[in-house]
Amino acid sequence: MSKGRFGQHGGQFIPETLMNAVTELEKAYNACMQDEEFLAELKALHETYTGRPSLLYYAEKMTEDLGGAKIYLKREDLNHTGSHKINNALGQVLLAKKMGKTRVIAETGAGQHGVATATAAALMGMECEIFMGKEDTDRQALNVFRMELLGAKVHPVTSGTQTLKDAVNETLREWTNRVVDTHYVLGSVMGPHPFPTIVRDFQSIIGKEVREQILKAEGKLPDMLIACVGGGSNAMGLFYDFIGDSSVKLVGCEAAGHGIDTDKNAATISTGTVGIFHGMKSYFCQDEYGQIAPVYSISAGLDYPGIGPEHAALFDTGRADYVPVTDREAVDAFEYLSRKEGIIPAIESAHAIAYGRKIAPAMGKDQIIVINLSGRGDKDVAAIARYKGVEIYE
Amino acid sequence: MSRISEAFSKGKAFIPFITAGDPDLTVTEQLVPAMAEAGADIIELGIPFSDPVAEGIVIQEADQRALSAGTTADKIFESVTRIRKKTNVPLAFMTYINPIFVYGSERFIKNAAECGIDALIVPDMPFEEKEELHPICQKYGIDLISLIAPTSKERITAIASEAEGFVYCVSSMGVTGVRKEITSDIGDMVSLVKASKDLPCAIGFGISTPEQAKELSKYADGIIVGSAIVKLAALHGKDCVEPICNYIREMKSAISK
CA distance A292 to A170: 15
Name every residue whose Cβ is closer than 8 Å to that of residue A389 and which is 6 or more positions away in sequence: none
pLDDT at position A139: 78
pLDDT tens-digit readout, B106-153:
999 999 999 999 999 999 999 999 999 999 999 999 999 999 999 999
- pLDDT, mean over chain B: 96
Computed over its alpha carbons, how large is the radius of gyration of chain A?
A: 19
B128 — contact with chain A (CB < 8 Å)? yes
Question: What's the Cα-to-Cα distance from B171 to each of A344, B26, B178, rounded to whole Å?
Answer: 51, 32, 11
B50 — contact with chain A (CB < 8 Å)? yes
* Euclidean distance between the first and the last CA atom of chain B, given in angstroms as a whole number: 26
What are the start-end ranges of the H helices in chain A?
A: 19-33, 36-45, 60-66, 85-98, 112-124, 134-139, 141-149, 164-177, 195-203, 205-218, 233-239, 268-271, 309-316, 327-341, 347-359, 381-387
Whole-complex ipTM: 0.96
β-strands A224-229, B119-121: how paired?
unpaired
Position B174 confidence tier, pLDDT thresholds 50, 70, 90: confident
| Contacts with A275 from chain B: Cβ below 8 Å | 98, 101-102
SS3 A206: helix
Contact B129 A12 (CB under 8 A): yes
What is the secondary structure of A47-98 as a DSSP string? IIII-PSPPEEE-HHHHHHHTSSEEEEEEGGGSGGGBTHHHHHHHHHHHHHH
Cβ atoms of A360 and A369 within 8 Å: the answer is yes
CA distance B188 to A391: 61
pLDDT tens-digit readout, A87-112:
999 999 999 999 999 999 999 998 99
Q: Nearest CB to B173: which of A1, A11, A177?
A: A177
Contact B98 A284 (CB under 8 A): yes
CA distance A110 to A300: 5
pLDDT at position B115: 97
pLDDT tens-digit readout, A351-365:
999 999 999 999 999
A155 — contact with chain B (CB < 8 Å)? no
| Contacts with A304 from chain B: Cβ below 8 Å | none
| Contacts with B151 from chain A: Cβ below 8 Å | 16-21, 179-180
Clarify whether A374 is annotated catalytic. yes
Q: Nearest CB to B128: which of A1, A15, A276?
A: A1
Let me know the angle formed at the C-alpha of B103 by B97 and B106, rounded to the nearest 5 degrees: 85
> What sign does the dihedral B107-B113-B117-B123 (CA atoms) show?
positive
Name every residue whose Cβ is closer than 8 Å to that of residue A20 and which is 6 or more positions away in sequence: B151, B152, B153, B155
Pick from B179, B177, B219: which is nearest to B202 by CA? B219
**H helix count then E strand count, chain B:** 12, 8
Nearest CA in chain B to A279: B124
Cβ atoms of B226 and B170 within 8 Å: the answer is no
Q: How far is A293 from chain B (nearest CA, A)?
A: 8
Q: In what order do the strands lie in the sheet with A127-133?
A: A153-157, A127-133, A103-108, A182-184
β-strands A273-277, A5-6: how paired?
unpaired
Answer whether residue B181 shows pLDDT above 80: no
Q: How far is A331 from chain B (nearest CA, A)?
A: 31
Neighbours of B202 (CB within 10 A): 28
pLDDT tens-digit readout, A7-40:
999 999 999 999 999 999 999 999 999 999 999 9
Phi first, then psi: what are they for B129, rounded to 5°? Answer: -110, 10
- Percent of chain A past pLDDT 90, that is, above it, reads 92
Answer whether residue B178 shows pLDDT above 90: no
| Contacts with A3 from chain B: Cβ below 8 Å | 128
Catalytic entry in A54, A282, A299, A374: A374
| Contacts with B147 from chain A: Cβ below 8 Å | 15-16
Catalytic entry in A76, A107, A209, A348: A107
If DSSP states are collapsed to H, E and C, what string results for B32-79? Answer: HHHHHHHCCCCEEEECCCCCCCCCCHHHHHHHHHHHHCCCCHHHHHHH
| Contacts with B101 from chain A: Cβ below 8 Å | 274-276, 281, 290
Let me know the angle formed at the C-alpha of B169 by A18 and B86, rounded to the nearest 5 degrees: 120
Catalytic entry in A70, A74, A85, A249: A85
Pick from B194, B193, B174: which is nearest to B184 by CA? B174
CA distance A106 to A175: 10
Contact B124 A18 (CB under 8 A): no
SS3 A384: helix
- pLDDT, mean over chain A: 96
What is the secondary structure of A348-361 as a DSSP string? HHHHHHHHHHHHGG
A16 — contact with chain B (CB < 8 Å)? yes
> What sign does the dihedral A349-A352-A358-A362 (CA atoms) show?
negative
pLDDT at position B237: 97
pLDDT at position A393: 64
Contact A286 B126 (CB under 8 A): no
- Residue from A170, A174, A291, A304 to probe the interface with B (highest B Cβ count within 10 Å): A291
Mean pLDDT for the stretch of residues B151-158: 94
| Contacts with B193 from chain A: Cβ below 8 Å | none
Position A382 confidence tier, pLDDT thresholds 50, 70, 90: confident
Q: Nearest CB to A16: which of B51, B101, B170?
A: B170
pLDDT tens-digit readout, B199-237:
999 999 999 999 999 999 999 999 999 999 999 999 999
- Helix A141-149, helix A112-124: angle, nearest 10: 10
CA distance A273 to A371: 27
Clarify whether A365 is annotated catalytic. no
Name every residue whose Cβ is closer than 8 Å to that of residue B188 and which is 6 or more positions away in sequence: none
pLDDT tens-digit readout, A282-328:
999 999 999 999 999 999 889 999 999 999 999 999 999 999 999 99
* DSSP H or E run through B80: helix B73-84
| Contacts with B131 from chain A: Cβ below 8 Å | 1-2
Give the number of A-B residue pairs with CB atoms closer than 8 Å: 122
- Residue from B60, B102, B146 to probe the interface with A (highest A Cβ count within 10 Å): B102
Answer whether residue B168 shows pLDDT above 90: yes
Answer whether residue B184 shows pLDDT above 90: no
A213 — contact with chain B (CB < 8 Å)? no
Q: How far is B180 from chain A (nearest CA, A)?
A: 15
Answer whether residue A131 shows pLDDT above 70: yes
Clarify whether A379 is annotated catalytic. no
Phi first, then psi: what are they for B247, rounded to 5°? Answer: -60, -45
Cβ atoms of B193 and B166 within 8 Å: the answer is no
Contact B97 A17 (CB under 8 A): no
Contact A291 B99 (CB under 8 A): yes
